Amino acid sequence: MNREQEFLSQLVQPNDSKLVLLVLDGVGDLRNAAQPATALDAAATPHLDALARRSSLGRLEPVAPGITPGSGPGHLALFGYDPTSKEADIGRGVLEALGLGLELAAGEIAARGNFATVDSERNLTDRRAGRPPSSEGQRICALMNEALEREPVAGIEARIYAGEAHRFVLRLRGDCLSAEIRDTDPQQLGVPALPVTGENPAAQATAAQVEKVLTVLRRAIAQEPQANEVLLRGFSALPHLPSFRQLYQLKAGAFAGYPLYRGVASACGMEVVPASKNFAELLETVASRWNDFDFFFLHVKPTDQAGEDGNLAAKAAVLEEVDRALPQLLALKPDVLAITGDHSTPAPMAAHSWHPVPLLISGELAYVDETTAFTEEQCIRGHLGTFPARHLLALMLAHGGRLKKFGA
Amino acid sequence: MNREQEFLSQLVQPNDSKLVLLVLDGVGDLRNAAQPATALDAAATPHLDALARRSSLGRLEPVAPGITPGSGPGHLALFGYDPTSKEADIGRGVLEALGLGLELAAGEIAARGNFATVDSERNLTDRRAGRPPSSEGQRICALMNEALEREPVAGIEARIYAGEAHRFVLRLRGDCLSAEIRDTDPQQLGVPALPVTGENPAAQATAAQVEKVLTVLRRAIAQEPQANEVLLRGFSALPHLPSFRQLYQLKAGAFAGYPLYRGVASACGMEVVPASKNFAELLETVASRWNDFDFFFLHVKPTDQAGEDGNLAAKAAVLEEVDRALPQLLALKPDVLAITGDHSTPAPMAAHSWHPVPLLISGELAYVDETTAFTEEQCIRGHLGTFPARHLLALMLAHGGRLKKFGA
């Protein structure tokens, strides 16, 4: 727990208010010569705009001016952690494992795996093995697990967990394993996978064991026509994040359709509730679990996907879909509702960006400013101003009456 | 002196400019469904608004987003200290003692005392002993001091100082006293006062001595019909705050009608000038001492009191009273005048809150923005933006020409 979190946690006073954080992934967008209106400008969102007129608007700076966050740091900041701190450095492997519902123990290592295709000289010809259907991925993962049981590697227990399509997680158990292992994905075609190497001398022993595990895996899939190689990335161990319960005395539920976001939420001590990728359906799940939590993290992914595709119309359409379902969420009468994103994903950039992210906070104690719609431009003028995303949780707790006065 | 203060103090260049900080306690307010206009919106304040039109507006974040400060931290931030730092953690006992004009020495301990009423089984029936008039409080304090002189407790020198009504300060002198003593006020009726205990083993010796002091005090007032018990709170020792002279090379005067604010100012090395609770009268005192200081802290309390009472009309009336007297202050021609609050006290909440606080800075070098009135809504749009309150002093110094360029 860092100094800021310790300070905040001492002020927390639990009550029965319900707080909802709705994350529209990558919602922030760009106005420029090429695109004179953002997705929020372009979308018809009457419910969001009506809500904006009785709420406070503002903007979040995900990490710091000019810094473009990945999904992990973006969400950790929303959850009140300093995304640049060592403790919040959650590896991709761990996120993927948590997202698949694995309960990693301390000292265990996880890596993200990919099936890939290599030619007869073991040079890569497809880094995703033709994106097989998930059922096919599961079949190949089963082959690999059988091989690992037949031919165990001394001193290390390895197991494979199938993800979506060509993705899987490799979990490693053993004494004194190091997570400081480099990726084996060379990030290009026409060359072989990289050998397993440690980031430092102390990690070489683990690297050598992982290389032996890889040999077993490769033998198991040697006859596959497409998925005849594996690439490993993001070796990492569980971080020691203080939980939502420790930090805020909140019983938190995460409603997300995608593994990564479930993973981040799980690392923060939230209970992951399996939820649909469809927002209206996700809200039905939220309604069915309304009495079980006092903090609800709701994740909407397709805003980001449309942004990454550079597709403004698709992004606006997702926002309109969210807007249509919004009355379902409001009907639950959350005491505090914050709507924002983990970063901007401007369509003209087809990528994440550093631009500040629109924010709306509604609730009985929210200052009703003179803004009239949930857009980037209105958010510039809002009462909340522009502030680092890691302070959002404190502000939500305050609006929910969950923070005592500091000092006399 | 923390790193920020050290940096700033090295840039200070004294001159003969006069800086005035007018604190309207709890001035910030809320617009919501229940209260569509704030006190500043509702009040007719022609002088403040005219001043706003030739000044810079902005907002202060007293501590951090979502954090509601007490009066102590709120003022320490306005005076340039980090209110969350250990050095700025001024105990309630010390504040009360300083406010009564006591000069505490290093190592001395102060606690806030209350007269209370107990029944024949020593259970509390009134935690404020019927709020006796101050003259009655002084009589009982004299009784207690006589008893302490008759029956001194070995190793500890105790003395009582009367405050307002049922309040007093207990000052303790001795070798190696600890201030880590818990409150004896149980904060409820029908139970006896708590025994004196230390927060940790090292404080037990002091706790045992304080218990003996209490025995003497109780004997002295045993026959009083109402004030037959004492409760002690906020044991604390003087903090080691760098002074206004050290930090800013300012000769600072504090003009405040209430003890707590005099106490905070005194802990920062300001000279406390006895001043009226009436703002126009307080300004007369300021005028009479205009040549004695180059920094003037002026404190107006009733804005906060009206807010705490949930009385919007009363809060607006206080602002109108301040506005009527404002020409008296402007006639002194301060080089820099900052008007703000130590926190918001929204009438709908009848309590302090975390909402950012309106700020006005006027002076020859203040950027004249397009804002038209001193209101929360206009302050959102002002030139100064929203920033942590602990930076206000630097900004006032800058506007007064009292800061050198940093670097070549």
- What's the whole-number mean pLDDT along residues B345-374? 97
Share of chain B above pLDDT 90, in %: 87
Q: What confidence tier does B274 reach under pLDDT thresholds 50, 70, 90?
A: confident
Q: What is the pLDDT of residues A245-297, one digit of tens each?
A: 999 999 999 999 887 888 889 889 999 998 999 999 999 999 999 999 999 99
Q: What pLDDT is stored for residue B238 in this prediction?
A: 79
Q: Which of A2, A248, A367, A368 to mutate to test the interface with B (most CBs of B within 10 A)?
A: A367
Q: What pLDDT is stored for residue A379 in this prediction?
A: 98
Count of residues in chain B: 408
Whole-angstrom distance, CA of residue B389 vs CA of residue B260: 19
- What's the whole-number mean pLDDT along residues A92-103? 83
Give the closest of A11, A368, A403 to B31, CB-based: A368
**For residue A307, is pLDDT > 80?**
yes
**For residue B240, is pLDDT > 80?**
no
Which residues of A sit within 8 Å Cβ distance of B?
Answer: 4, 7-8, 11, 54, 364-370, 381-383, 385, 387, 391-399, 403-408
- What's the whole-number mean pLDDT along residues B83-104? 84
Q: What confidence tier does B144 reach under pLDDT thresholds 50, 70, 90?
A: very high
User: What pTM was estimated for this model as a whole?
Assistant: 0.85
User: Is A4 within 8 Å of B64 when comparing Cβ atoms?
Assistant: yes
Nearest Cα of chain B lies from the Cα of A370 at a distance, in angstroms, of 8
Q: What pLDDT is stored for residue A259 in this prediction?
A: 78
- What's the whole-number mean pLDDT along residues A166-171? 95
Q: What is the pLDDT of residues B31-65, one digit of tens each?
A: 999 999 999 999 999 999 999 999 999 999 999 99
Q: What is the pLDDT of residues A8-19, one digit of tens each?
A: 999 999 999 999
A-to-B residue pairs, Cβ atoms closer than 8 angstroms: 93
Q: What confidence tier does A407 reach under pLDDT thresholds 50, 70, 90?
A: confident
- Cβ(A401)–Cβ(A12) under 8 Å? no
**For residue A242, is pLDDT > 90?**
yes
Q: What pLDDT is stored for residue A260 in this prediction?
A: 80
Average pLDDT score over chain A: 95
Q: What is the pLDDT of residues A31-78, one digit of tens each?
A: 999 999 999 999 999 999 999 999 999 999 999 999 999 988 999 999
Give the closest of A387, A393, A408 to B71, CB-based: A408
- Cβ(B141)–Cβ(B168) under 8 Å? yes
**For residue B258, is pLDDT > 90?**
no
- Cβ(A52)–Cβ(A374) under 8 Å? yes
Domains for chain B: give ranges and CATH numbers. Answer: 3-90+241-399 (3.40.720.10), 101-237 (3.30.70)
End-to-end C-alpha distance for chain B, whole angstroms? 25
Q: What pLDDT is stored for residue B127 in this prediction?
A: 92
Complex ipTM: 0.84
- What's the whole-number mean pLDDT along residues A85-94? 85
User: Is A365 within 8 Å of B65 when comparing Cβ atoms?
Assistant: no
Answer with the residue of higher pLDDT: B267 or A29: A29
Q: Which residue of A has its CA nearest to B353?
A: A405
- What's the whole-number mean pLDDT along residues A363-385? 97
Q: Which residue of B has its CA nearest to A382?
A: B380
Give the closest of A364, A394, A406 to B65, CB-based: A394
Query: Which range (A330-339, B15-24, B145-154, B232-241) has the least confidence?
Result: B232-241
